[in-house]
Amino acid sequence: MRPVKILTDSCSDLIKELRDQYDIDYAKMQTVYEGKEQWASLDFEYYTPKELYDIMRAGNRITTTQVPPDEFKRIFTKYLDEGYNIVYIACASKQSNSVFTGEKVAQDLLKNYPDAEIYCIDPLNASAGEGMLSVRAARYRDQGLSAKEITDKILAERNLVNEFFTVQSLTYLHKAGRVKASKAFLGNLLGVKPILTADVNGAQVPISKAKGRQKSLETIVAMLKEKVTDPEEDVYIIHADCKPEEVEFVRGLVEKEIPCKNIYVGYMGPIIGASCGPEAIGVWGFGEEVTFEG
């Protein structure tokens, strides 16, 4: 049986520590700023987090692309030539078309690799939710499961990812088409902080709101606490260049309130960050099945 390679993409916000530990690679999307395309690196090779988010703080907009077909061709071919079957865990199809592009490229490539398999999964999640599922897929691989068996497992478990995040300003979500201009203006004026989640179909939708920044941070942890029940699971905290004291506040709350095996903290990468904006922060964990539909 061919060995299995787990791939994800720039939307996964999967920290290097975990990519290295679980031998996970990723296909790169691109950011576009002032007409210049740049690869969206999860390791911030082209911008530091502060440089990236300061561009947005200055009122500039960064747009994004899906994974280009040539990038899929490059990374799929690399691992097919090395003898792997591939499981690619994409960004949720409600947020990116990359999974469909990956499927098309895979179909074309497999004509030349008749003994190989490529599975492209819509995980119904983005950011750390996508990354968590990639780690889980790698663990299944390490248990000896085949590419098809891993795919079936992830499809069965993708709605067990619970996500709650908040943003500093509604302006960026408005620019990304997430909220109406009137709601963004009024929310910013009143200091209302939305609480968002990934619904059962993989769309990022508002589920609640909080008055003020600290209350919003407390709320996302409290909401995750209600959903996460297994102390052997991990919790992920992903942020868009938040103040260190805010990140530590959230980490401390998680450590105090949610029994878990590990707490992983990382930056929100260029793709997700371009939509959510500076100071966005979220918490993720496996728990109760998501049934909410926005």
Report pLDDT digits (tens) over 84-132.
Answer: 999 999 999 999 999 999 999 999 999 999 999 999 999 999 999 999 9
65 strand-pairing partners = 30
Q: Determine the residue type at 29.
A: M
Question: Measuring CA to CA, how many Å separate 227 from each of 131, 254, 283, 288?
Answer: 19, 13, 12, 5
Q: What is the largest CA-CA distance in the chain?
A: 59
What the block records as the tokens of 129 is 């939710």
Question: Measuring CA to CA, how many Å separate 238 from each of 6, 38, 166, 273?
Answer: 21, 22, 11, 10
Question: CATH 3.40.190.290: does it fit domain 160-286?
Answer: no
Query: What pLDDT score was predicted for residue 180?
Result: 45
- Selected residue with higher pLDDT from 169 and 184: 169
Query: What pLDDT score was predicted for residue 173?
Result: 64
Tell whether the model's pLDDT for residue 221 goes beyond 50.
yes
Q: List, by residue range, all CATH 3.30.1180.10 domains of the chain.
A: 160-286
- Selected residue with higher pLDDT from 121 and 177: 121
Tell whether the model's pLDDT for residue 287 goes beyond 70.
yes
Tell whether the model's pLDDT for residue 163 goes beyond 80.
yes
What is the CATH code of the structural domain delimited by 4-158?
3.40.50.10170
Tell me whether residue 16 is exposed, middle or buried, using C-beta atoms within 10 angstroms of its C-beta: 0 to 12, 13 to 18, 19 or more: exposed
Q: List, by residue range, all CATH 3.40.50.10170 domains of the chain.
A: 4-158
- How high is the mean pLDDT of the chain? 93
Q: Percentage of the chain surpassing pLDDT 90?
A: 85
- Selected residue with higher pLDDT from 173 and 204: 204
Which H or E run includes 181?
Answer: helix 181-190
Q: What is the pLDDT of residues 189-204, one digit of tens each?
A: 456 888 999 999 999 8
- What residues contact residue 43 under an 8 Å CB cut-off, 6+ apart? 16
Q: What is the pLDDT of residues 260-279, one digit of tens each?
A: 999 999 999 999 999 899 99
pTM reported for the whole predicted model: 0.93
Q: Percentage of the chain surpassing pLDDT 70?
A: 93
Q: What is the pLDDT of residues 23-41, one digit of tens each?
A: 999 999 999 999 999 999 9
Query: What pLDDT score was predicted for residue 205?
Result: 84
